[in-house]
């Protein structure tokens, strides 16, 4: 299957095909959103892998979005108490690194931030911003 150059003028038949493709893509995206609500980030990873099997994708490791703390910031952070979990009340410096890594790998906080920005929650709270 060859892909037409999107910047190139096309005939009526090609335009109809593009419009149908756009509607189909929007339908797939809608279904994907419904599945993602149930299966979360794992669903999106699977979908990405399937898409990359059909369309060349960059398989580069995503860039770490977090910049490292300075030595001083890390020192101060390490003295803070864990606010929850198995090690609540202990200084971060005294929590096993494998536990901190496990905690950092959890997606709940990222998903919670997205939830708090959702239209559903804004409607329920009456926030029109």
- Residue-wise pLDDT for 88-102, tens only, equals 999 999 999 999 988
- Interatomic CA distance for residues 62 and 90, integer angstroms: 32
- Interatomic CA distance for residues 37 and 39, integer angstroms: 6
Short-list 24, 15, 48, CA closest to 6: 15
pLDDT reported for residue 62: 63
pLDDT reported for residue 1: 41
- Interatomic CA distance for residues 41 and 49, integer angstroms: 13
User: What letter does residue 67 receive in the DSSP assignment?
Assistant: P
Distances (CA, A) of 19 to 15, 22, 24: 6, 5, 9
- Note the pLDDT tens digit of each residue in 43-75: 777 777 888 888 877 666 666 677 888 999 999
């Amino acid at each position: 299957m060859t892909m037409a150059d999107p910047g190139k003028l096309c005939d009526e038949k090609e335009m109809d095909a593009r419009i149908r493709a756009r509607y189909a893509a929007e339908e797939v995206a809608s279904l994907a959103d419904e599945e993602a609500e149930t299966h979360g980030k794992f669903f999106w990873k699977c979908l990405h892998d399937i898409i990359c099997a059909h369309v060349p994708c960059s398989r580069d490791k995503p860039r770490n979005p977090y910049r490292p703390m300075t030595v001083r910031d890390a020192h101060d952070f390490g003295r803070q108490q864990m606010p929850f979990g198995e090690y609540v009340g202990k200084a971060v410096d005294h929590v096993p690194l494998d536990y901190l890594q496990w905690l950092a790998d959890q997606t709940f906080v990222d998903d919670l931030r997205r939830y708090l920005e959702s239209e559903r929650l804004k409607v329920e709270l009456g926030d029109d911003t």
